[in-house]
């Protein structure tokens, strides 16, 4: 490794690449796939198509969420920056990153496999229209929070806050 290409730089690259893959994928599903699916004729087909797309992405998102979390905590440790969590006013972007990561980790690794998948199928069978509207709303909230977090993290990491 060249002097500039130290472990810290490599960690940062892994962190940003993981975040781009994961958040970019969520954004695409939210603002491209879901609105397109809503135009499908029969509500039942919308649900089946959404499950197919989201299921494929969920597998990949588990990997990038894991890589973002490991590299994120490693960076924090390498920078000796854990005390940032004691100052949320100045370092809110650190809290935002961890909060977002925790929500996705819970959903992708615990709730989805254990509960959400069954809940979604049962609710969608009863009320496909309402279920898709709810799913879209939740996706919009999380995608928007993620974009704000990305902007905040870059500003925070480069002295912009």
> Which residues make up the interface to ligand HEM (CB under 6 A)?
12, 15-16, 19, 23, 68-69, 72-73, 75-76, 79, 81, 97-98, 100-101, 146, 149-150, 153-154, 156-158
Q: Minimum distance between the CB of residue 16 and ligand HEM, rounded to whole angstroms?
A: 5
Give the residue closest to ligand HEM by C-beta: 72
Between 72 and 128, CB nearer to ligand HEM: 72
Nearest approach in angstroms of CB 7 to ligand HEM is 13
Smallest distance from ligand HEM to CB 12, Å: 5
- Taking the least distance from each CB to ligand HEM, the nearer of 43 and 70 is 70
Q: Which is nearer to ligand HEM, 40 or 74 (CB)?
A: 74
DSSP secondary structure letters along 56-117: HHHHHHHHHHHHHHHHHHHHHHHTT-GGGGG-TTT-HHHHHHHHHHHHHHIIIIIIIIIIIH
Could you tell me the smallest distance in angstroms from the CB atom of residue 105 to ligand HEM? 8
Phi, psi of 33, rounded to the nearest 5 degrees: -70, -50
CB of 140 to ligand HEM, least distance (A): 15
Give me the long-range contacts of 7-15 (CB less than 8 A, separation at least 24). 7/78, 8/75, 8/78, 8/79, 11/71, 11/74, 11/75, 11/78, 12/71, 12/75, 14/67, 14/71, 15/67, 15/68, 15/71, 15/72, 15/75
CB of 47 or CB of 150, closer to ligand HEM = 150
Integer Cα distance of 157 and 81 in angstroms: 12
């Amino acid at each position: 490794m060249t002097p500039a290409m130290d472990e810290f730089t490599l960690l940062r690259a892994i962190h940003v690449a993981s975040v781009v893959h994961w958040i970019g994928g969520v954004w695409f599903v939210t603002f491209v796939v879901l609105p397109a699916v809503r135009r499908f004729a029969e509500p039942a087909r919308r649900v089946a198509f959404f499950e197919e797309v989201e299921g494929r992405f969920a597998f990949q998102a588990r990997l990038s969420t894991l890589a973002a979390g490991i590299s994120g905590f490693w960076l924090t440790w390498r920078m000796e920056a854990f005390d940032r969590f004691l100052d949320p006013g100045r370092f809110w972007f650190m809290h935002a990153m961890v909060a977002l990561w925790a929500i996705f980790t819970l959903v992708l690794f615990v709730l989805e496999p254990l509960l959400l998948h069954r809940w979604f199928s049962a609710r969608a069978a009863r009320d496909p229209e309402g279920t898709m509207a709810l799913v879209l709303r939740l996706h919009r909230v999380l995608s928007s929070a993620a974009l704000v977090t990305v902007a905040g993290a870059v500003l925070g990491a480069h002295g912009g806050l």
